[in-house]
């Protein structure tokens, strides 16, 4: 059972809460309490904007256990505006092709059910979607 792990990770999973280094101002995700840039202690919480771009991506047809219901789906390395790289599913892609450099934004979605589909705890966390709403709003103005 992984319920304790999901519970421990909820802040970073729900809202991309990482850390900022008080010594060199590096933004850190996932949080690890030690700055990967300067090696000093870094425990100050920092909520990321959720914006970034696709660094690379791949589409999975054979999904691992727990994710079969979502297959096929696209996983991307997303370079956040603040610097760190995160791995996450892309969602709400619509008809457009995923491209390297495509601007994306974080959304909180249902990742899977822990254990039994109908009885297990629902696991929520970040995914990324194309920055489409902003484009549509700009087109409407």
Partner 1 sequence: MTDKVSENLLLKPSRPVGIVGYGAYVPRYRLPAKEISRIWTGGTGGVPIQEKSVPGPDEDTTTMSIEAARNALARAGIDPEEIRAVWVGSESHPYAVKPTSTIVAEALGVVPFTQAGDWEFACKAGTEAMVAAMGLVGSDMAKYALAIGMDTAQGRPGDALEYTASAGGAAFLLGPAEESVAVIESTLSYVTDTPDFWRREYQKYPEHGQRFTGEPAYFKHISSAAQSYLDATGTTAEDYQYAVFHQPNSKFPSRVAGQLGFSKEQIATGLLVSVIGNTYSGAAIIGLTAILDVAEPGDRILMVSFGSGAGSDAFGIRVTERLPERRDLAPKTQTYIARRTEIDYATYSRMRGKLVLK
The sign of the torsion formed by the CA atoms of 131, 110, 16, 97 equals negative
Q: What are the start-end ranges of the E strands in the chain?
A: 17-20, 27-28, 44-47, 51-60, 73-80, 85-89, 103-114, 121-130
Q: Judged by CB under 8 A, which of 40, 41, 47, 99 binds partner 1?
A: 47
Distance CA 106, CA 128 (A): 4
Count of residues engaged in binding partner 1, rule: CB under 8 A: 27
* Cα-based angle 122, 127, 129 (whole degrees, multiple of 5): 135
**3 binding partner 1? (CB under 8 A):** no
* Contact stretch for partner 1 (CB under 8 A) within 35-43, 55-63, 79-87, 91-99: 91-99
Instruction: CB nearer to partner 1: give 9 or 34.
Output: 9
**11 binding partner 1? (CB under 8 A):** yes
**51 binding partner 1? (CB under 8 A):** no
* Contact stretch for partner 1 (CB under 8 A) within 34-42, 55-63, 77-85, 109-117: 109-117
**65 binding partner 1? (CB under 8 A):** no
Instruction: CB nearer to partner 1: give 35 or 112.
Output: 112
Pick the closest to residue 39 from 61, 15, 23 (CA basis): 23
Residues contacting 21, CB < 8 A, separation 6+: 27, 28, 35, 37, 38, 40, 42, 44
Instruction: CB nearer to partner 1: give 36 or 135.
Output: 135
**9 binding partner 1? (CB under 8 A):** no
Smallest separation (angstroms) from partner 1 to the CB of 60 = 14
């Amino acid at each position: 059972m992984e319920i304790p792990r999901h519970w421990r990770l909820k802040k970073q999973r729900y809202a991309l809460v990482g850390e900022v280094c008080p010594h060199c101002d590096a933004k850190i995700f996932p949080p690890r309490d030690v700055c990967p840039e300067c090696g000093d202690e870094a425990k100050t919480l920092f909520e990321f904007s959720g914006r970034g771009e696709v660094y690379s991506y791949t589409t999975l047809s054979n999904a691992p256990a727990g994710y079969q219901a979502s297959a096929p789906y696209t996983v991307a390395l997303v370079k956040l505006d603040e610097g760190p790289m995160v791995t996450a599913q892309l969602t709400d892609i619509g008809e457009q092709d995923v491209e390297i450099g495509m601007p994306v934004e974080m959304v909180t979605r249902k990742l899977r059910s822990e254990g039994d589909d109908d009885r297990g705890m629902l696991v929520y966390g970040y995914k990324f979607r194309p920055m489409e709403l902003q484009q549509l709003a700009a087109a409407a103005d």
